[in-house]
Amino acid sequence: MKTIILLRHAKSSWGEASVEDFDRSLNQRGERAASLVGQFLRHEGLHPDIVLCSAARRTRETLVRVQGAFGEDVPALIERELYLASATTLLDRLRRLSDDADRVLVIGHNPGLEDLAATLIEPQGTPLEEKLAMKYPTAGLAVISADIGRWHDLKKRSCKLDLFVIPKDLV
């Protein structure tokens, strides 16, 4: 069994017009939300074996805020290819993970993360799936299970949505 935790970066700042999208930082609301998500990860025992994180500033800052839930001993790969990555790119990256890792945390961007979740989940018509389909806001967290032993075998429409929480749920 493999577990995929998809975390959309927390709310970022649009305050400086001269700052490129890649370099936008978290705003105060985003910092609070990311910290709440970290507390939730710890409380739920969602300890990843590895983290894949977009190289954008806001995703790296989100990682710093949630990392307290599992510590710095968990390898965190900061990858440029994950910046605004499509669902296809994200799926390909997951398939290249080492099979030693059973649980991965991916910190990235929409629409790629939302599309990846929709691509992976075998629709069951559950309330969680309906909630996910409505909106995947900043700091939204989806936990998806895949009944596979090797990441290479990860397939579309073969997984189950176990959990979907948004910052409002955690306040």
Q: Which residue ranges make up each domain of the chain?
A: 2-10+22-170
Cβ burial of 166 (10 Å; 0-12, 13-18, 19+) is buried
Model confidence pLDDT, tens digit, residues 105-140: 999 999 999 999 999 999 999 999 999 999 999 999
Q: What percent of the chain shows pLDDT beyond 70?
A: 99
Confidence of residue 18 (pLDDT cuts 50, 70, 90): confident
Query: Does domain 2-10+22-170 sit in CATH 3.40.50.1240?
Result: yes
| Mean pLDDT, range 30-57, rounded to an integer | 96
- Between the CA atoms of 43, 116, 154 and 3, what dihedral angle is there, to the nearest 10 degrees? 0
Predicted pLDDT of residue 29? 95
* pTM > 0.85: yes or no: yes
| Residue 2 contacts residue 129 (beta carbons within 8 Å) | no
Strand pairing category for 141-146 and 159-165: antiparallel
Does residue 78 register a pLDDT over 80? yes
- State both tokens at 128: 């969680």
